[in-house]
Amino acid sequence: MAALVTASTAQASPRPVKAEATAAVTPPAITCAEAARLDLSGVPGAPASITSATVVAPAGNTLGKWEACSVKGTIAPQIQFNVLLPTQTWTGRYLQTGCGGFCGSIGFDPQATYGCVPFTNGEFAVAADNEGHVGASMTDGVFGADPQLRVDFGYRSQHLTSIVAKEIIKRFYGQPAALVLHGLFGGRRPGHDRGAALPR
């Protein structure tokens, strides 16, 4: 009986809490100006073109007080994307956000990350797109008359943006993202639709 009591007491003893290790920062392998000249025409399944790459100062970054290289581009026919690449704080993580309503424009509003310190500290590279079409507002459904734009809105824009963004990340830092997260906006998009339509 003593042995049983001793074993039970040992199992109930609290385990020592380990301090969370600080993730290592990966610096860029190229400059933001060089990122503007990246050739993405040969990205398999997602040929794209970069329209601009500019440095965003911490004071002008709405996602947090960290400097970023903002890379914007397009994927035919109307997919527009923006990738924010931390220049001093990236720890190998990537987050792709979604968009509400019919979208139609690029905007960063990662609601689920509010209060997430690694995110606000700039440890994530972040991407967003216009959900595959240019619209006057989030309620503009004119694109629905075009079968290709409907497909792009349904799942193609998120998938191709993910491919292109991860390629940009790999070239900018000289290594791929180790952790990839896809946000859920508009109730269930784009993470759910992307996973359902394009399983790995």
Rg (CA), the chain: 21
pLDDT band at 112 (very low <50, low <70, confident <90, very high): low
SS3 call for 83: strand
Q: What are the tens digits of pLDDT across the range 128-179?
A: 999 989 887 877 888 888 899 999 998 899 999 999 999 999 999 999 998 8
pTM of structure: 0.80
Q: Do residues 44 and 100 touch, judged by C-beta distance below 8 A?
A: no
Higher pLDDT, 110 or 200: 110
Rounded to an integer, the average pLDDT of 176-194 is: 61
Distances (CA, A) of 169 to 3, 86, 149, 179: 57, 10, 26, 12
Q: How far apart are CA 106 and CA 53, in angstroms?
A: 15
* Widest CA span in the chain: 78
Q: What share of the chain is helix, strand, coil (3-state, %, to 5)?
A: 30, 20, 45
Tell me whether residue 10 is exposed, middle or buried, using C-beta atoms within 10 angstroms of its C-beta: 0 to 12, 13 to 18, 19 or more.
exposed
CB 123 within 8 Å of CB 63: no
DSSP 113: G
Sign of CA dihedral 155, 40, 70, 64: positive
What's the gap between Cα 129 and its chain centre? 10
State pLDDT tens for residues 48-67. 999 999 999 999 999 999 99
Identity at 112, one-letter amino acid code:
A
Give φ, ψ of 79 to 5 degrees: -75, 120
DSSP symbol at 160: H
Whether pLDDT at 16 is above 70: no
